[in-house]
Structures are given as structure tokens and as C-alpha cells.
Amino acid sequence: MDYYLNKTNKLLKFGVERVIWINTISQTIMEEDLKPRDWHTPVEITAGVNLSVGDLVDNYNQNRPG
């Protein structure tokens, strides 16, 4: 967890406006508060634009050929 905290703080100090971590093994997302959330939870990427990583993955898996 220290890595995420240190890296997030460095990025924000550098001027990055938003940090969103996507953890594929645990299928969670973390924003600046570093609270893990299910990756089906919508995240606001930019003003008015929400994204659900889990829904994107599910959609891809349902519609991929083969």
C-alpha cells in the first residue's frame, strides 16, 4: 500500500489532476483516497464522463470472437 500512497502523492505534486489505480487481480479500483472499490463502481474520469472498468471487461469478454 505504501507504493500506491507514495506514487499517488508524487503524481499529484507533479501536477496530475487525477489518479485512478486499476487492480486486475482483486478486480478493484482506487482513487486518490486509496479506498478499494469493486471495479464495477463507476468512476468519473473527467467532468461528466463516467467509466466502469468491470462493465468494459464484461462487455469485451461477452463480445470477443472465438
Share of the chain above pLDDT 90, in %: 82
Residue 32 — very low, low, confident or very high, per pLDDT cuts 50/70/90?
A: confident
Strand extents, DSSP E, the chain? 21-23, 28-30, 37-38, 43-46, 49-51
Hey, where are the domains in the chain? 2-63
Q: Give residue 22's pLDDT band: very low, low, confident or very high (50, 70, 90).
A: very high
pLDDT at 66 over 80: no
Residue 22 makes CB contacts below 8 A (sequence gap 6+) with: 29, 39, 53
The predicted model scores a pTM of: 0.81
Distance between first and last Cα of the chain: 38
DSSP 37: E
CA-to-CA distance for 39 and 57, rounded, in angstroms?
10
Q: How confident is the model at residue 39 (pLDDT cuts 50, 70, 90)?
A: very high
